[in-house]
Structure formats: structure tokens, C-alpha cells
Chain A
């Protein structure tokens, strides 16, 4: 009855229409769930939309969430292109934040703001890169499956963070709460737009997306990555050093996740604490997929997912719907979006007639 056939090329209309319809279906299913908690789904969705894009403030908050998503996802795109599944952006993000914090706590008095911030950025990148280097090395020398090793390293990173927060880095003036002291102004990333929380990280994200796009499309390294991802045997025979390429790409991917962690604490939270939103490391995987592994598309997707999260968290407060419902709406939309990806790769036939 239903049949799929591989597409050679997809039209622009479909490329836009498929995600739109997917979102609509997700909204529909999410809406049914909302009805069960005796709230009108239309009001809820209106509230989400207004909560995400309805005012300058919430719009800016959407961008604030999009920044780390973008930074992480463009890095992931690079390794995903090689069929190397880095699920460890979560941990790389945390370690990046920790490395940055070290300088924020210890060098704020001795360094000027531009220098300190540069050092913190480099530290964040180095931290994330080092954390990513562990699974890359394990893969290159002992063929350890990266999905397992990166996930396990996420837990180790989280417990290192917890150790620091309950131990050496806890600020005694915080009545025992596991927080560092608030960063000096020197260690805070400057705002980009006044009266919002949008910070310099946005520029980093956009520049990085463009750089990664250039790497993939224009450089020899990007070419090798695509050959490896599409046919490892051909790559090996051509003489491409697969281990070396995985390692370099993981350094870039981990470095960007680390940078994301650093800009988040330096630009938004202004201190290190246990809750620093490392879950962006997982959401960024979805961003990478939805953008079809294209770093430029990732900009739009990050913005959209940022809006979804900001809007959804708004209704939690304003409409008093249970937190579970919010998660349900989010996941049903993501579910349909990811499901819709199949239609961008395949044509669908029903009883022999082409549907899409």
C-alpha cells in the first residue's frame, strides 16, 4: 500500500513545506494532550508563540537559547558528516565552562577585560577539546565505540562539576549553596544588545557556522570528511588518514561545545553552578539533524528550537499547566520534525500513486 522510493533531488517548496507540515502535525498531537489537562490548546499555543516571539524581551531570550545550540550543533555537524557520533557535547560543554571559570576566579584582578575574556574563550575551547580528545583517541587506537565512551564521559564531567561545586570552588558566602562567587565584570562577556541578555556569543556562533560551512564545502579537510563519511573503504584506499581526521574534527567539535559552555556562564549565568544547562548538548544533536547537517541551516533551526523552549517555559509560568505537558508538546513537535526528514530523502507512494 505505502511505498517509499529514494529521491535524487528535492524541490525548494518541499524542503520548506515538509518541516512546516511536520510542525503542524506535532502541534496537533501535542494539542490533544493539552486537552486532557482541561486547557484550551489554542490558548496554549498562542501563549507559546507570544512567549517565544511576542515581545522584544522574549524574542531576545529565544536568541539567548539559540546561541549555545548553534555553537554546539555546527561542531557536531562536522563529526556527524564522518559518521562519528559524538553524543558527548554535554560533557564537553561542562568541562569548557569549568576551564573558563578557573580564569574567571583566579585572574580577574590581574588581567584586563579583553585579555581575560580571550583567555577564558581559549580555555573553554581547550577544555572541551581535551574532553573530546579522550573518546577520539580511544577510537583511533583501540576502536572503542564513541557513542558509549562519549555518553559515559558526560557523567564523569557532571561529577567533576559537582565535586568542584560542593568542594573547592564553593563560595563560603553563599550560605552553603553550591555556587561560585559572581564573576567580576572583567569576566563577563559583553552584551550585544542593551536591555537584553544577548551577548557576544551570538557573533561567535554566526562566525563559526560560516567557518564550518567553508571547511565542509571548500577545503581538502572537508572533502576528506565527506569521503570518510560516505565510504570508509574508498577513503582508506585513497590514503586518507581516518584516525587523524576524526581526531581533528573531534577537537573542533569538542572545542565548540566547550566554548558554548564558557559563553553561557560568562555571558548569562555569571557564575559557575551545578545547573548550567548542559542539556543543550543533547538538543544540539537534534538541531544538527534537522538542519540536514548544513551549518547555515543550523542557524535557523537553532533559532526555532530556542523559541520552542522559551515559549514552552513561559506557559509553565503564565498558564500554570503541568511541566510534563510542556515537555510533551516539545517532544511531539520534535518527533514529527525528525519523522518528516524521511520524506526529504524518499518519495512516498500510496496504492501506486505518488503523494509527495
Chain B
């Protein structure tokens, strides 16, 4: 194949208590799509942040076109033709595409030549089929489109190397396919692409070569053609991985959650739930699939009491708890695994202990009068850590230093330990590696077998199909169809998610 454009030699990076990158070597060729695969905490994002100048390595060298370079800031990365597209977009919602592209450009003087810039944006957009109008505001764009704006930003600044950090995590299967077409086209035009992903199937589909990291070390670089999913998974985790989980037969118990004609508004004041009806029984997992932004986040928030319902009813175990205080709803036996771990799930700057006791700090034995018994709290935390195999460097370090998987295990452990009747899990495995994902799914199934009613809200269709007993699809604030798992068909569900197929399928019940 063609020449090497970027070479990293012996990259090493320490963080307090962790060796994030240990002597990593790899090279990137011109015009190739090179995937980085690895569990969470394997050091992929750290390595990419080093290439983008956000971190500086403790050791090792980076060569661009054979010349040694020192990348001290994202600005210097840009100058060297490296553009990174982060998982969380760096866009200003209230500005237009054009204004976002201009932000941070060094070459612009006092006067902005908007016409000229718009022309170039349109050129880039046309060249790679990005289909973006430079004059629309960011908030009017879908997630997939916003991602393409990020790509335009990088290309506008002359990126020859594009780094995408888990770009498909926020996309529908259809949007992902569009992105892949764009990436392939860019590769044909001699751009080099580094692609980070957890999803083995798409990695197999898109990349030319794959580099696998494991626990900060290089596990190897392979040609995609010469490997299969199973071997890849083994390289990544260091052991065999189950692609199918064993499920006991469904043992449906009493009705736990009943939702009738539920309506609510989102933060922008737009009606986002338009009459949701839903029943979930003990011992079953109800999977709610849908593209993000169709009301699933708000539905979960209304059920747990974080958002007000404007119409309709939420009943738990036959009792009307609509618009009750979250604490009361929790007491009624509802627990919640929120979509945004760091924003809702934990208090990032507090320790593992202080986060572990969040649901029970005001109950005995941790609560002692007006005081907290920190010894009991430590004891309880150690119990969680042991039972759920959570890797915590130090119990008193802020939890923001935990990897995504361990953070999610901590949240899951904390919520399950409350012995809920109803568990609401929103994107429980989003952004997690194969090992942690498998662990979380197994735990959810365990809870189901114990008789807990589980509402699983996920954008990952595979996940929904793998563990649900019934599947519903939410589109524009309505459940457009409910189907039993045995009758589920991934294509039909995908079309319903996209709003094409609006006829209700076989209704469960």
C-alpha cells in the first residue's frame, strides 16, 4: 500500500496511578482507514488526545511525513494537518455552520469574508457529499448532520489526517452507513482516517487495518481482511467473548409499570411525548428502541420524577405516582441508570465511597443521627466493589478518574442494591467496551430473572434485540409499534425508528 504519513514510536503516558499508554508503536498510511479498537481504559482516547495535542506524552516520538514533530496544543495539531472529531461535539448551538467553522481560525483578519468562506464550505460539502448548508444554525441540525459539520471544520482547516472518536455512538444504523460512505470517499481522496470504535461489525466493515490496544499496551495491528470478529474480540479482551447471552425463559409476573396517555415537553418547550401507553410486568425486559431525540430520554425522566408530566398517568405497582418527588418514586421501588453517567449518575469530584452511598446515606447504618458513619460507608463501598468487580484505583480518589465501564458498574451496583421493583436503564452500555457491556447486560438479565421489571432504553439495536423480551419503537413522541422478541425483525424495526414504517406491528398483549 501507499506511503506512511504518520508514525508514532514508543508513546508512553502516565496518569496518577495508571499507565495509560505503554510504549505504543503504530503507523498510519496515506488514504487508509485505520481503526483503533480496545476496551474502555485501554488507552485509545489518551493516544488520540496525544496526537491532537491535548495531552503531551511522557515518552516517545511522533513523525509526520518522516519529520519529527512536537504537538503541544490542538492548534499545533491543526497546523500539522491533524483534525479530531470528539465524541462530544465542539459546536456553538446558537451560531450558524459558517460561524462555527470560522471560530478559532487564525487566518481571518478583522473583516470576515463570509461569501468566500461559504463558497469553500459548499465546495467541501459537495466534494464529500456532506450535504450541509453553511447558513443554518447548529441547533436546527440532527446529530448526524452536526457530526458532518465537525468534519467540515476539520477539512476547512486543511486536515490530512482525521481522527474520529467513536463517531457512530450517536447515530442510527442508517446514519452510520452515510458516514461510512463519506469516510470511504475521503480515504479515496488520500485523506487518512483514524477511527475509534467498540462495535466489531462496523470495524470489520469499514477499516483497512485495525490496531488493538489492551490495558494501555499494543495488542497488535492486523489487516482487516485477514481476521474475523471472534479473533478480534479475543485480541481486545484477552479471552473468548460471548456474542449471545444465555436467557432463561420468560417468567412474567404481576404488572409493575403502567403508563397511560403520557405527555410532556422538552427543555426547548416543544411537546416531546404525545400520549405514551406502556405496561411492563415483573420479570420482563421491555426494550425501547428509537433514534435519539424522539422522547425516550424525557420518558425516563418523567417516570423517575425528574420531569413533570403535563398529561397522563404513571402508575407503579398500581399506585399513581405521576409527578411525585424523585425520592418518593425511588422509595416506591424505582431505580434509574441515567444516560449521562457524569452529569446525572455520579458526582464526579466526590470519591467512590461518597458516590456509592448516594441512595442510602440517610438510612441506617450509614446514617447516625445528624452524622454520617464513614466506616460503614467504606464497608458498604468495599462490598459493592467486590460483588461487581469494580476496578477503583483508590477509594478516596474522585470518581471522574474511573474508566467508563467501572463508573457504570458502580452506578449499576448502587441502583441494583436498592432492590428495585422497576429498573429504568437508559443506554446502559453506551461507550463501554465489550467486557463491561457483557457484564452490564448479564446483570440486567439476572435482575429480570429475579422478577424485576426492566425498561431498557437504548439506541443500540443489537443490545435491544439481545436482551429484551418485548421491543417497542418510539418515534416523535409516540410508540409506533410493539413486538415480541420472537417476531422481531431488525430491518423493520430500523425502518420504524426512521419513521418510514408507521404501522404498528404485532402488538404485545
The interface of chain A, by Cβ under 8 A from chain B, is: 1, 3, 5, 8-9, 218-221, 223, 226-227, 230-231, 233-239, 349, 351-352
For window 351-380 of chain B, which residues contact chain A by CB distance below 8 Å? 354, 358-359, 361-362, 367, 370-372, 374
Q: Are B348 and A220 in contact (CB under 8 A)?
A: no
Count how many chain B residues have C-beta atoms less than 8 Å from C-beta atoms of the other chain: 39
Distance in Å from the Cβ of A292 to the closest Cβ of chain B?
A: 13
List B contacts of A218 (CB < 8 A). Answer: 371-372, 374
List A contacts of B72 (CB < 8 A). Answer: 1, 3, 349, 351-352
Distance in Å from the Cβ of A272 to the closest Cβ of chain B?
A: 37
> Which of A3, A221, A227, A237 is B336 in contact with, Cβ under 8 Å?
A237
Bound-state Cα–Cα, A239 to B336, Å: 13
In the complex, what residue of chain A is closest to B358 when comparing beta carbons? A238
Distance in Å from the Cβ of B197 to the closest Cβ of chain A?
A: 27
In the complex, what residue of chain B is closest to A231 when comparing beta carbons? B347
Bound-state Cα–Cα, A230 to B371, Å: 20
Distance in Å from the Cβ of A349 to the closest Cβ of chain B?
A: 6
Q: Are B344 and A223 in contact (CB under 8 A)?
A: no
List A contacts of B56 (CB < 8 A). Answer: 3, 5, 349, 352
Bound-state Cα–Cα, A218 to B370, Å: 9
Asked whether A236 and B326 contact (CB < 8 A) given A3-B56, A220-B372, the answer is yes
Say if the beta carbon of B7 comes within 8 Å of chain A.
no
> Which of A219, A221, A227, A351 is B347 in contact with, Cβ under 8 Å?
A227
Q: Are A352 and B346 in contact (CB under 8 A)?
A: no
For window 40-78 of chain B, which residues contact chain A by CB distance below 8 Å? 55-56, 70, 72-73
**CB<8 Å pairs between A and B, sample of 9:** A8-B17, A219-B370, A220-B372, A223-B361, A226-B347, A227-B354, A237-B326, A239-B326, A352-B56
Q: Are B330 and A233 in contact (CB under 8 A)?
A: no
Q: Are A8 and B397 in contact (CB under 8 A)?
A: yes
Q: Are A223 and B354 in contact (CB under 8 A)?
A: yes
Q: A218, A230, A231, A237: which has the most chain B beta carbons within 10 Å?
A: A237
Q: Are A8 and B348 in contact (CB under 8 A)?
A: no
In the complex, what residue of chain B is closest to A226 when comparing beta carbons? B350
List B contacts of A351 (CB < 8 A). Answer: 70, 72
List A contacts of B140 (CB < 8 A). Answer: none
Q: Are B348 and A231 in contact (CB under 8 A)?
A: yes
Say if the beta carbon of B349 comes within 8 Å of chain A.
yes
List A contacts of B359 (CB < 8 A). Answer: 238
Bound-state Cα–Cα, A234 to B371, Å: 21
The 8 A CB mask of B5-20 against A (1 = contact, 0 = none) is: 0000000000111000
Distance in Å from the Cβ of B346 to the closest Cβ of chain A?
A: 7
Bound-state Cα–Cα, A3 to B306, Å: 39
Bound-state Cα–Cα, A157 to B114, Å: 53
> Which of B73, B349, B350, B367 is A3 in contact with, Cβ under 8 Å?
B73
Distance in Å from the Cβ of B38 to the closest Cβ of chain A?
A: 22
In the complex, what residue of chain B is closest to A237 when comparing beta carbons? B326
Other A-B contacts than A3-B56, A219-B370, A239-B330, 16 sampled, CB-CB below 8 A, are A5-B56, A8-B16, A8-B17, A219-B371, A221-B370, A227-B347, A227-B350, A227-B354, A231-B343, A231-B346, A231-B347, A237-B305, A237-B336, A237-B338, A237-B344, A239-B325
In the complex, what residue of chain B is closest to A240 when comparing beta carbons? B327
